[in-house]
Amino acid sequence: MEVGFLGLGIMGKAMSMNLLKNGFKVTVWNRTLSKCDEVVAHGASVGETPAEVVKKCNITIAILSDPAAALSVVFDKDGVLDQIGSGKGYIDMSTVDPETSCKISEAIALKGGHFLEAPVSGSKQPAETGQLVILAAGDKALYEEAVPAFDVLGKKSFFLGPVGNGAKMKLVVNMIMGSVMNAFSEGLILAERSGLNRHSLLDVLDLGGIANPMFRGKGPEMLKDNYSPAFPLKHQQKDMRLALALGDQNAVSMPVAAAANEAFKKARSMGLGDLDFSAVFETVKLLKHSS
């Protein structure tokens, strides 16, 4: 099976490498073409433009940084729309708002192509180990055709119905994740200022009802001030913003998420946007030092 892959950031690089390791033929494109070199060394081909990739492959996957990038790859000159058509499918695994997914879906349908949104839950390590959770919505036949690739990329894929539902599910998941990370950060500081051992707190949390892989994986690194990016903070803040907009559309009051978003915005203003989203911990530490 041959697939195209657009976008070789932290996630895209790991995902395309997994496809190659599992016997898929992969043609890749990235806005900075030099980022293709490593996957090419492992057997991938390179397309000079998104259109060239779509022309060559019946199924093309994209995972891009934000709605603007997702729209650009589709609608710009030499973009996906230049070559999409009957018999070709486009799968956008980026985290975007439902409106962006619907706009892309409508444009591809007008060209006779098939569209699936399929954002993923998981960051760098799950992408590298094929343990993502795939939240697909849109063309059911394209979903079925893509299942062999999804089985390589993830531990579970869900088909959630019409276009927009995948984006909504991903925003809800990331809104919860970002809010919990802020509460976790505050808890670490509260433990320290109360005279408790922060490592003991991690041990207690790991044995209780709220034990989870995020605390287990991020906590020890946060205590070492290690924020090597698995999921960049700037993308987490973007997802909080989009989730809050979804709340506005549905008249859902979200004061906890709104407060968490402000913390991520503060972290971005401190120059932490390219670090892991757990670097929001630094905003709480800053408040401690200024008090």
User: Could you read off the pLDDT of 137-191 as tens digits, one per residue?
Assistant: 999 999 999 999 999 999 999 999 999 999 999 999 999 999 999 999 999 999 9
Domain segments of the chain as ranges: 2-161, 168-286
Q: What is the mean pLDDT of residues 124-130?
A: 95
Of 170, 218, 234, 238, the active-site residue reads 170
Contacts with 204 (C-beta within 8 Å, 6 or more apart), sequence order: none
In CATH terms, is domain 168-286 a member of 1.10.1040.10?
A: yes
pLDDT given for residue 290 in this prediction: 54
Q: Residue 1's pLDDT is what? A: 84
What is this structure's pTM? 0.94
pLDDT of 73 reads 98
Q: What is the DSSP letter of 270?
A: T
Checking if the pLDDT of 291 tops 60, the result is no
* pLDDT exceeds cutoff 80 at 288: no
Please give the mean pLDDT across all residues of the chain: 97
pLDDT of residue 286: 84
% of the chain surpassing 90 pLDDT: 97
CA distance 27 to 4: 5
Q: Scanning the structure block, which residue is given the tokens 């004061």?
A: 255
* Residue range 21-54, pLDDT digits in tens: 999 999 999 999 899 999 999 999 999 999 999 9
Residue 65 has pLDDT above 80, yes or no: yes
Yes or no: domain 2-161 corresponds to CATH 3.40.50.720: yes
Helix (H) or strand (E) holding 157: strand 154-159
Q: Is 170 assigned a catalytic role?
A: yes
Q: Using an 8 Å Cβ cutoff, are 145 and 115 in contact? A: no
Query: Do the beta carbons of residue 96 and residue 66 sit within 8 Å?
Result: yes
Euclidean distance between CA atoms 27 and 37, whole angstroms = 12
The pLDDT confidence band at residue 105, using thresholds 50, 70 and 90, is very high
pLDDT at residue 58 is higher than 70: yes
According to the model, what pLDDT value does residue 287 have? 73
pLDDT tens digit sequence for 187-216? 999 999 999 999 999 999 999 999 999 999
